[in-house]
Amino acid sequence: MSDKRYAMVIDLHRCVGCAACDIACKSENNVPVEFHWSNHIIETSGTFPDTRYNYIPTLCNHCENAPCVTNCPTTAMHKSEDGLTLHDPDKCIGCRLCQLSCPYGVIWFNKEDPHQNFMRDSEPAIPGGTSTGQEVAQAADAPIPYYNPARATTYQGIRDRGMVEKCTFCDHRLAVGEDPACVVACPADARIFGDLNDLESPPSKALAKYTPRVLQRDQGTKPHVFYIRNFNK
Amino acid sequence: MDTSSFSETQFYEIQPGIIWDARVAWDLSLGGLGVGAFLLAFLLWCLADRRYRPLAQTAAVIAPVAVAIGLTLLFSKLGYKFHVYQMGLNFAPTSIMWWGALLQGAFVGLSAIFAFRLLLPNVSLLDWLSARRVGWVAVPLAVLTGLYHGVLLAVISSHPLWATGQMVIASVLLFMITGSAGALLVHMIRTALLGARSEEGSLKDYWAGLRPLVLVMLVSTALLLVTLLAWWMDLRFGPTRDQEVITAVLATYGSLITLAITALVGALALCVAALLAGLRGRSLPAFATAILCVLMLGGGFAIRYVAVLGGQLSPPVSTLATLS
């Protein structure tokens, strides 16, 4: 039994809204272009010149009371010993009940074979000057040009058609002692990741110092992604 | 200087579209019809006299067939069908769908045996499985299956249209209405095509004997209409999110909801007419009874359809306001 309880704290005061987390996640996890394991909410409001632009990064909340896990009829969606909400494609039947159950809209379903945009990329950007995506993939002996084989160590490298997929907190990186890709990529150190059972861990300290907030608290899911501070303080 | 005011703009890209399509609505409708038909068959077989045995047989045959067709439609919707056996290999007691798969599988099997015993009572095969024995085991399964069709959606708390008690109550009332209407309609068609059985006696006496069934259909339909009103009120006067959902549902499916309610009110009126005619020693013409059944089936399906698809119209979205 693991004694870890992973969580992420997002410091909204530090976040600059650059979306580097989103790009890093796509690259690390071979996420199709149209999916967003790492995502964000943008809200713009006010009357010029008194306008506000707010940006909140989002991802799977790895909820303690995860409705996707509770409702999954095959236990494909499950909790790991260290508190991660993970998906086992060998058990998934593609019923999409997890997608319906998730209040955060962070589970994605492969209606078609993923990365079809790449498969259709048969024209080089500069004829005679650049290769097509297909040619690059063939030269690299990879299923797609931007394929990361490390992802396949704990999950399908590219998920099958008919399956759901979601953020895993980069469990393949955690397994080798590294932080999730979005945490590493953040240029403002706005993402604080670690073990909540360790009171000296960065997220524990951050939660002790600032009042944590979560999305849709009323759903009672007990998210493990917390938000601290605000944009202007 | 542009001083135009921004209404709050939100951009949050989640996977668009309907996740559970019309096939799920058909599954729930046919499942409800099957469950209701089975209960009618069992009650007629246990309580009614012999002239209603043919109707019981018809209802008994409808039960496993309707539920099995519904399950087939649901199966066709699965993204990864070859893994469906995983539901049998994995123990998922917190999942209503897992329980539903067990219940419906068992119900289809038992109701098929029940239909077999009713159709061919003298065949020695499966002799130890008497209709009465199988029926009594299948009755609680039927009720649980009928409840399951509502609970499956009601436990999804992120969808306000579904996460209500009315969802479950409507589901139960719908199986009582559509099961009886479906069985009656199919039996009338069968009678029209093949002729009435000798034991069914005169048409007038036959329908007079079915007065309790018409009364049950009337009460169920009236209760369903009250439930729909309560459902609307619950959302309309609920939190902002609930109000947004009911507004979206009415804007998209307003015409269909109007048709469904009109059909159910029409069916209600015909039930009253049938009972009044019975009190005067007369019976409704066959075509009016058929229309009554069609109205109940059509109205019932429309309600299920709107519930399944309408519930997904306004997907759960996180906003700044939900950060607390």
pTM of the model: 0.92
Asked if the Cβ–Cβ distance from A99 to B6 is below 8 Å, we say no
- Cβ of A39 within 8 Å of Cβ of B13? The answer is yes
What are the chain A neighbours of B105 within 8 Å (beta carbons)?
none
- State the average pLDDT over residues B169-177: 96
Mean pLDDT, chain B, integer: 92
ipTM score assigned to the predicted complex: 0.91
CB nearest to B157's CB, from A45, A47, A67? A67
Determine the pLDDT at residue A136.
82
Q: Is B56 helix (H, G, I), strand (E, B) or coil?
A: helix
| Structure confidence at residue B3 (pLDDT) | 52
Q: Is B19 on the interface with A (CB under 8 A)?
A: yes
DSSP H helices in A175-229: 181-185, 202-209
Asked if B317 and B25 count as a contact pair (C-beta separation under 8 A), the reply is no
Q: Which two tokens mark B112?
A: 């098929």
Torsion of CA A115, A119, A123, A126, to 10 degrees: 40
Inter-chain CB proximity B80 and A93 less than 8 Å: yes
Q: Is B316 on the interface with A (CB under 8 A)?
A: yes
Residue A88 CA to residue A72 CA, distance in Å, equals 11
* Interface contact A105-B15, CB threshold 8 A: yes
A44-103 residues touching B, CB cutoff 8 A: 44-49, 51, 54, 56, 58, 67, 69-76, 90-97, 99-103
What pLDDT digit, counting tens, does each position of A129-168 carry?
888 878 888 888 888 888 999 999 999 999 999 999 999 9
Percent over 70 (pLDDT), chain B? 97
Pick from B50-59, B265-274, B311-320: least confident: B311-320
* Interface check B158 vs A, CB under 8 A: yes
Q: In the predicted model, what is the mean pLDDT of residues A205-224?
A: 96
Out of A115-129, A202-216, B35-49, B73-87, pick the least confident: A115-129
Contacts of B294 (CB under 8 A, 6+ apart): B181, B185
By CA distance, what is B239's nearest residue in A?
Answer: A218
C-alpha dihedral, B294 to B164 to B215 to B183, nearest 10°: 40
A156/B contact by beta carbon, under 8 A? no
pLDDT at residue A80, as a whole number: 96
What are the strands, taking DSSP E only, across chain B? Answer: 5-11
Distance from CA of B39 to the nearest CA of A (A): 27
Tell me which DSSP letter residue B323 carries: B
- Three-state secondary-structure class, residue A158: coil
Asked if the Cβ–Cβ distance from B9 to A44 is below 8 Å, we say yes
Question: What is the crossing angle of helices B165-194 and B211-236, to 10°?
Answer: 150
Res B312: pLDDT? 94
Average pLDDT over residues B7-29: 84
- Interval A186-204 mean pLDDT: 97
Provide the pLDDT for residue A125. Answer: 80
Mean predicted confidence (pLDDT) in B178-196: 94
Q: What pLDDT band is residue B1 in, cutting at 50, 70 and 90?
A: very low
Amino acid occupying residue A174: L
Nearest chain B residue to A67 by CA: give it: B156
Distance between B157 CA and the closest CA of chain A, angstroms? 7
Alpha helix positions (H), chain A: 20-29, 67-71, 97-101, 116-119, 133-140, 171-174, 181-185, 202-209
**Which candidate, A91, A64, A216, places its Cα nearest to that of B90?**
A91
Q: Testing the interface with B: which of A43, A48, A60 to mutate, by most B Cβ within 10 A?
A: A43
A219 touches chain B (CB under 8 A): yes
Q: Is A225 within 8 Å of A191 (Cβ atoms)?
A: no
Contact B48, B56 (CB under 8 A): yes
B238 inside 8 A of chain A by CB:
no
Cα gap B133→B318, rounded to integer Å:
52
Q: Which two tokens stand for residue A126?
A: 């500069």
Judged against a pLDDT cut of 70, whether residue A18 lies above it is answered with yes
Instruction: Tell me, yes or no, if B80 comes closer than 8 A to chain A by beta carbon.
Output: yes
What average pLDDT does the segment A98-122 reach? 89
Largest Cα separation within chain A, whole Å, is 59
**B283-307: per-residue pLDDT in tens?**
888 899 999 999 999 999 999 999 9
Q: Pick from B2, B20, B87: which is nearest to A93 by CB?
A: B87
Q: Are strands A225-228 and A6-11 parallel, antiparallel or unpaired?
A: parallel
Residue A118, pLDDT > 80, answer no
Instruction: Kindly report, residue by residue over B228-240, the tens digit of the pLDDT.
Output: 999 999 999 999 9
- Choose, out of A35, A100, A211, A213, the residue to mutate when testing the contact with B (most B CBs < 10 Å): A100
